[in-house]
């Protein structure tokens, strides 16, 4: 199975994600520059974190118009698992693949710290090995991570079970403490925290297993399909 890691100008967690996919979880991961095409037989796509286009205008908004996004949209429609982390989540939101927007944190500052996530939906390709309400210790690192949707859309998200992760505590002022959502089909997932920074025992004193399950869920999903 093959996982594509998309690289935009200014992506900076691309190599971290690639390292974790390949060296920790033994997946076949490959970088794709944003002007390249994605092969249609790819099994999963990850949009990593960073500062695509230097966060100019608004985080993720320029990258959302990259040529490769049209391929991502096609794959999304086919039901291929797609994960956006941090800036990747912002790009998915800006490209319309996921609902809502990401605003400046309530503190108005960049925030780099560890927090706990709660799993709200364990039916997605990236959460199926997690328990409902399971806690995931994980770091955030963003300036524009405050998730926002209006009340009507929030009700819609809740009704469709599209809230995938929420913060255990108030972190940045997100609506309903939302940290990650999925599309209505559940195959496109975006999250602000960084699972690739938390899934490796070698660099963490904090329990790495819950974050590992995000990657193991993907292996479970794609493995079953193949």
Partner 1 sequence: MSFQEHEKQHIEKNVKRKLTDTELQILAAEWSEHCSYKSSKKHLRMLPTTGPNVIVEKGYDSGVLDVGDGFVVTVHIESHNHPSAVEPFGGAATGVGGVIRDILSAGTRPIALFDGLRFGNIENDAHARWLFKNAVSGIADYGNCLGIPTIGGEVEFDDCYKNYALVDVAAVGFGKKSKLIKNHANVDDLVLLIGGSTGRDGVGGSQFASDALEGEDRSAVQIPDPFIEKLIIEAILECRDANCINAMKDLGGGGLSCAISETAESLGIGIELDVKNVHLRESDLSPDEIMISESQERMLIISDPNNLSKIKEICDKFRIQCSVIGTVKEDKMMHVKNGDETIALLPADFVARGPLVDRKKSKPEYLLKLPSFPSSKNEMPFSAILLKLLSSPNIASKHWVFRQYDHEVGIRTVIKPGFDGSVLRLDNGKFLSVKIDGNPKHCYIDPRQGAIGCFEEACRNVVCTGATPIGMVDHLQFGNPEDPEIFWTFMESIEGITDFAKFLDVPCVGGKVSFYNETSEGPIKPTPLIGVLGLIETSPLLPTPPSNDDVILLVGETKDELGGSEYYEYIHNFIGGVAPKVDFSESKKNMKSVLSLISKNLIKSVHDCSKGGLAIGISELCIFGKIGCKIDLKSSLSYEKMLFSESHSRYILVANKNNLDTIKSILSDDQCSFSEIGIFSGDQIIFESGSNQILELRVDKAENNYLNSLGKIIQNG
Instruction: Note the residues at the interface with partner 1 (CB under 8 A).
Output: 9-10, 12-13, 15-16, 19-20, 33, 49-51, 53-56, 109-113, 139, 141, 143, 194, 196-197, 200, 202-203, 205
200 is catalytic: no
Which listed residue (13, 18, 34, 196) is catalytic? 196
Structure tokens at 161: 């079970």
Nearer to partner 1, 149 or 192 (CB): 192
- To partner 1, the closest distance from the beta carbon of 54 in angstroms equals 3
CB 172 within 8 A of CB 159: no
Which listed residue (13, 18, 86, 182) is catalytic? 86
Structure tokens at 14: 């691309």
Which listed residue (34, 94, 144, 194) is catalytic? 194
In this structure, how many other beta carbons lie within 10 angstroms of the beta carbon of residue 130?
23
Give every CB contact of residue 94 below 8 A, 6+ residues apart in sequence: 58, 59, 60, 61, 63, 64
- To partner 1, the closest distance from the beta carbon of 79 in angstroms equals 30
d(CA 210, CA 134): 8
d(CA 10, CA 14): 10
Nearer to partner 1, 57 or 132 (CB): 57
- To partner 1, the closest distance from the beta carbon of 6 in angstroms equals 15
86 is catalytic: yes
Question: What amino acid positions are annotated as catalytic residues?
Answer: 86, 194, 196
């Amino acid at each position: 199975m093959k996982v594509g890691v998309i690289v935009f100008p200014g992506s900076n967690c691309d190599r971290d994600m690639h390292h974790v996919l390949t060296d920790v979880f033994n997946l076949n991961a490959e970088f794709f520059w944003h002007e390249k095409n994605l092969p249609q037989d790819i099994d999963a796509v990850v949009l990593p974190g960073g500062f695509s286009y230097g966060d100019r205008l608004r985080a993720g908004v320029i990258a959302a118009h990259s040529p490769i996004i049209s391929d991502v949209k096609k794959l999304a429609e086919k039901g291929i698992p797609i994960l956006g982390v941090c800036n990747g989540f912002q790009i998915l939101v800006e490209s319309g693949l996921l609902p809502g927007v990401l605003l400046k944190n309530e503190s108005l500052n960049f925030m780099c710290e560890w927090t706990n996530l709660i799993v709200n939906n364990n039916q997605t390709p990236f959460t199926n090995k997690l328990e409902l309400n399971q806690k995931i210790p994980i770091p955030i690192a963003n300036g524009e991570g405050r998730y926002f949707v209006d009340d009507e859309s929030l009700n819609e998200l809740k009704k469709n079970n599209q809230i995938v992760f929420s913060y255990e505590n108030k972190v940045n002022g997100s609506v309903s403490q939302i940290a990650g959502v999925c599309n209505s089909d559940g195959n496109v997932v975006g999250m602000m925290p960084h699972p690739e920074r938390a899934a490796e025992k070698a660099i963490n004193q904090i329990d790495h297993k819950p974050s590992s399950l995000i990657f193991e869920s993907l292996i479970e999903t794609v493995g079953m399909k193949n």
